[in-house]
């Protein structure tokens, strides 16, 4: 018997526990802060992306196969999916792109790797969605959009249609956004949590610029039922 989950429940009696906790963006801060607490991130096609807008996310969730279907556009340091508008990281270190020391062959190799990885992660996302186990999807509302209860409801509706088993959506907001999205107006299965501020968009993994205590409170209340042993090293790990 594995005692870890039992002990975790005893230590956090008021927390909600899920078999899968999956980030939907808006950017990498969600996955990074989850990793800082639990030392793993369950990989999925949205874990390390910048969705840019709520509509982009809804578009992708409504038809996962659209992602990558119309090719990729290189945008300086990331790849933009032409079909959905969502931005993805390649495997090449960011400083290679910012230095300008790369060739067309480097770009082609990075794109080919991205295409294969995204194809695998799309398949995995759908398998997890349909496995019948409890799932929490976490979405950080874009900082330059006003939270809208109808659009949040649309994200949840699409997820419920896509998934089998209990499916919740946690929307993370900056405190300034809270008046625009009241819990009483949200449909069942949609929850909110807040941090005092987001990290700057281009510094999603900058701990010193984040609301560490705010994210700690969030993960105290929303927790994974299991831990996954991490085998790979992330870009932010030096």
Please report the pLDDT score of residue 91 as a whole number.
Answer: 94
- pLDDT > 70? residue 119: yes
Domain positions in the chain: 4-224
Please report the pLDDT score of residue 1 as a whole number.
Answer: 45
Q: Residue 7 — φ and ψ, nearest 5°?
A: -65, -40
pLDDT tens digits, one per residue of 22-80 = 999 999 999 999 999 999 999 999 999 999 999 999 999 999 999 999 999 999 999 99
- pLDDT > 90? residue 185: no
Please report the pLDDT score of residue 216 as a whole number.
Answer: 97
Give percent of the chain above pLDDT 70.
95
Identify which of 222, 21, 29 has the alpha carbon closest to the alpha carbon of residue 143: 29
Please report the pLDDT score of residue 13 as a whole number.
Answer: 80
pLDDT mean across residues, the chain: 93
What does the alpha-carbon distance between residue 100 and residue 78 come to, in Å, rounded to a whole number? 14
Global pTM value: 0.93
The residues that bridge with 231 in the sheet, in sequence order, are none
Separation in Å, CA 102 to CA 95, 105, 140, 142: 10, 8, 33, 32
Q: Which residues contact 203 (CB under 8 A, 6 or more apart)?
A: 209
What does the alpha-carbon distance between residue 131 and residue 158 come to, in Å, rounded to a whole number? 16
């Amino acid at each position: 018997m594995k005692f870890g989950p039992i002990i975790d429940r005893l230590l956090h009696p008021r927390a909600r526990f899920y078999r899968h906790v999956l980030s939907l963006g808006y950017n990498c801060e969600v996955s990074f802060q989850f990793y800082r607490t639990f030392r793993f991130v369950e990989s999925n096609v949205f874990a390390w992306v910048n969705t840019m807008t709520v509509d982009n996310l809804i578009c992708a969730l409504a038809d996962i196969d659209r992602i990558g279907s119309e090719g990729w556009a290189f945008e300086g340091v990331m790849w933009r999916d032409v079909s959905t508008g969502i931005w993805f990281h390649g495997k090449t270190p960011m400083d290679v792109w910012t230095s300008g020391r790369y060739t067309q062959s480097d770009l082609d190799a990075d794109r080919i790797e991205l295409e294969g990885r995204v194809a695998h992660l799309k398949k995995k996302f759908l398998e997890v969605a349909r496995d019948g186990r409890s799932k929490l999807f976490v979405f950080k509302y874009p900082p330059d959009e006003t939270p809208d209860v109808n659009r949040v409801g649309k994200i949840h509706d699409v997820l419920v249609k896509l998934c089998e088993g209990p499916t919740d959506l946690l929307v993370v907001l900056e405190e300034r956004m809270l008046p625009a999205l009241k819990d009483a107006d949200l449909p069942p299965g949609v929850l909110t949590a807040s941090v005092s501020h987001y990290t700057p968009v281009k510094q999603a993994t900058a701990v010193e610029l984040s609301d560490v205590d705010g994210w700690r409170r969030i993960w105290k209340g929303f927790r994974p039922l299991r831990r996954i042993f991490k085998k790979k090293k992330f870009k932010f790990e030096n």
